[in-house]
A = this chain, B = another copy of it.
Amino acid sequence: MERLVRLVREVSTAGEVSTTGAAVIARLGRLGGQRITDLARAEGVSQPAMTQLVNRLEGDGLVRRAADSADRRGVLVETTDRGREVIDARRTQRAEALEAALGRLDATDRAAIAAALPALDRLVDAVLDS
């Protein structure tokens, strides 16, 4: 059960962008332009951390800063096409890996996992609310 540590680290550090970076791009894809402060709060990191992350993502051409017409202090961070591509590729790659791993289990195990998914989702919510 402690091997979970390795799994988490390997999954977290693999790929072109960090997990937080991926979460940010995915969020921008879902909700459109967001401000730095809101992104920081949504991902549970400090505002400077989000500024730096956006700097890196912008340097990689995955997001873009746009002026906020309503508030000249703020910026609106948006995804680029390349950002969307990278996220999509990451998602499908992850999905394929998961599919392959599930394929190595027997049908009983797969059914048990499928049946527990909604409950696990709620469990994550419960843990985060504390």
Contact = CB atoms under 8 A, between A and B. Distances in A.
Interface of A: 1-12, 19-20, 22-23, 26-27, 43-44, 97-98, 100-102, 104-105, 108-110, 112-113, 115-116, 118-128, 130
5 contacts: A2-B26, A2-B27, A8-B8, A9-B20, A11-B127
A110 B116 CA distance: 9
Copy total for this chain: 2
Given A2-B26, A9-B44, A123 B113 contact: yes
Given A1-B121, A8-B12, A126 B113 contact: no
A88 B84 CA distance: 44
A56 B71 CA distance: 46
